Amino acid sequence: MNLTLKIWRQSNAKVQGKMVDYKINNVSPDMSFLEMLDVLNNELIEKGDDPVAFDHDCREGICGMCSLFINGEAHGPDRGITTCQLHMRKFKDGDTIYIEPFRAKAFPVIKDLVVDRTAFDKIQHAGGFVSVNTSGNTQDANAIPIPKHDADRAFDAATCIGCGACVATCKNSSAMLFVSAKVSQFALLPQGKVEAADRVLNMVAEMDALGFGNCTNTGACEVECPKGISLENIARMNREYLKASLK
């Protein structure tokens, strides 16, 4: 395939970026999207040009780093996948592909297609954990009975990889789906109920302080989420927040 790529180039966070056109030929439909970008970067390096900066790590749909906005969609024109799992067979010969970083106030651009998602780490630090005192006769977690339905829902929420597709897709740049997944994975388990009130209050407060927008129930976040995190988690987090606020 021969393609035209329109890629956002921005040398650092302090300068204004712009879309730059690139031609790339002989792209195999079996390549992943990131492999295609690797080929482009090899060509740029050979010409002495600056390669396109983009985030990646595992390339197995696990780490959530490969966060690109492709033709107006987070992770591109497929469902239930990350960018590294997107294959070029989803495009046609002669296509023009627009590639941008995730756009959100809380995700400032570092360079080109790389954004700073430290905001998610700060939300996690605010309460996305369970405190355990390991001294004395602490009960083994595996010895605590958990209904299968609750365990399954907690596991489903825990599959969130923190890629930020929900934020990039939301018209308000809301992080509600991410935060609700992190709240739900503990709220559904007995180990997480001890700190449940402090957890949801602190994580929501941190989310608001970092400049994420509010949820207006558009539902785009669930559609674009590579792990299919359900909107039910947002409803659960709202209930947890209301309960904690009343206490």
| d(C-alpha 213, C-alpha 227), whole Å | 22
**Over residues 56-73, mean pLDDT:** 96
Which uninterrupted H or E stretch holds 223? Answer: helix 220-224
| d(C-alpha 40, C-alpha 216), whole Å | 39
pLDDT-based confidence at residue 247 (cuts at 50, 70, 90) = confident
| d(C-alpha 235, C-alpha 21), whole Å | 43
CA-based nearest residue to 81, from 93, 91, 67, 97: 67
Decide: 84 and 32 in contact? Cβ < 8 Å.
yes
Flag whether pLDDT at 110 surpasses 90: yes
The pLDDT of residue 76: 97
Q: Which CATH class is domain 1-109?
A: alpha beta
Which pTM was predicted?
A: 0.93
**Over residues 146-171, mean pLDDT:** 96
CA-based nearest residue to 177, from 189, 163, 166, 165: 166
Distance of CA 146 to the CA centre of its chain: 29
pLDDT digits (tens, 9 = 90+) for 29-54: 999 999 999 999 999 999 999 999 99
pLDDT-based confidence at residue 141 (cuts at 50, 70, 90) = low
Report residue 223 as tokens: 């559609």
pLDDT digits (tens, 9 = 90+) for 87-108: 999 999 999 999 999 999 999 9
Strands 96-101 and 68-70: antiparallel
Phi and psi for 207 in degrees, rounded to 5? -60, -45
**Over residues 200-222, mean pLDDT:** 96
pLDDT-based confidence at residue 225 (cuts at 50, 70, 90) = very high
CA dist 39 to 25, 47, 78, 138, Å?
Answer: 10, 13, 22, 53
Domains 1-109 and 116-130+140-244 agree in fold: no
Where along the chain do its domains lie?
Answer: 1-109, 116-130+140-244
- Domain 116-130+140-244 matching CATH 1.10.1060.10: the answer reads yes
pLDDT-based confidence at residue 231 (cuts at 50, 70, 90) = very high
**Chain-wide mean pLDDT for the chain?**
95
Q: For 111-151, give the secondary structure using H, E and C.
A: ECCEECCHHHHHHHHHHCCCCCCCCCCCCCHHHCCCCHHHH
CA-based nearest residue to 237, from 132, 133, 160: 160
The pLDDT of residue 136: 67
pLDDT digits (tens, 9 = 90+) for 175-208: 999 999 999 999 999 989 999 999 999 999 999 9
Phi and psi for 18 in degrees, rounded to 5? -160, 160
